[in-house]
Amino acid sequence: MIILEPFERSDFQQLINWIDTEELLIKWSGSLFSFPLTIESMEWYIRDTNLPGVSDAFVFKAVEVETGAVVGHISLGGLSWKNRSSRISRVLVSPHAMQKGICQLMTKAVLKIGFEELGLHRIGLGVYENNKAALNCYLKSGLNIEGVSRDILWYNGEFLSMVEMAILEDEWRAQNL
């Protein structure tokens, strides 16, 4: 079991250590950051986050309840209070916690926050087509494929497409009765 806690400056170095290749950085953040990730480049990332009713982003670390170890990172951003919608982004499981179902636990935990605490109606995300493990995680977490943005990112000599996924509050509630 995991809990989500606010991601803070003191967590930067651990995340930097996890993201040790440009490919992993691209999977985690698309074009948002440059490799290598630095503390300085992350300062703006958490500015004005995690303030209910004010922020347009909530950034979390996933903490394993039993051990207290940080096992992942996830954010809920692009929040539109008017439209009651948001996007899950920058999901990363610690290299030491792979194959433990942590991605699914984090995704379900952030969906619960979005729907129950923030009162959202729609939560979406985008995942690169070559990230099969993440795609499977999101499907198992109840998100539906809505479409594909073709050839959206040029990386390593080829274009990658983005699979767009989402879940609505009534779909989430039906799965969590």
Residues 106-134: tens digit of each pLDDT: 999 999 999 999 999 999 999 999 999 99
Instruction: Identify the domain containing residue 81 by its residue range.
Output: 2-175
For residues 135 and 50, give the distance between their C-alpha atoms in angstroms, rounded to a whole number: 26
pLDDT of amino acid 54: 79
Mark 128-157 as b/e (b = at least 16 C-beta within 10 Å): beebeebbebbeebbbeeeeeeeeeeeeee
CB of 102 closer than 8 Å to CB of 92: no
Higher pLDDT, 176 or 168: 168
In this predicted model, what pLDDT tens digit does every residue of 26-58 receive, in sequence order? 888 888 899 999 999 899 889 888 887 778 899
The domain that holds 66 is classified in CATH as 3.40.630.30
Number of domains in the chain: 1
User: 128: which 2 tokens?
Assistant: 């690169």
pLDDT of amino acid 155: 87
pLDDT of amino acid 47: 86
pLDDT of amino acid 95: 87
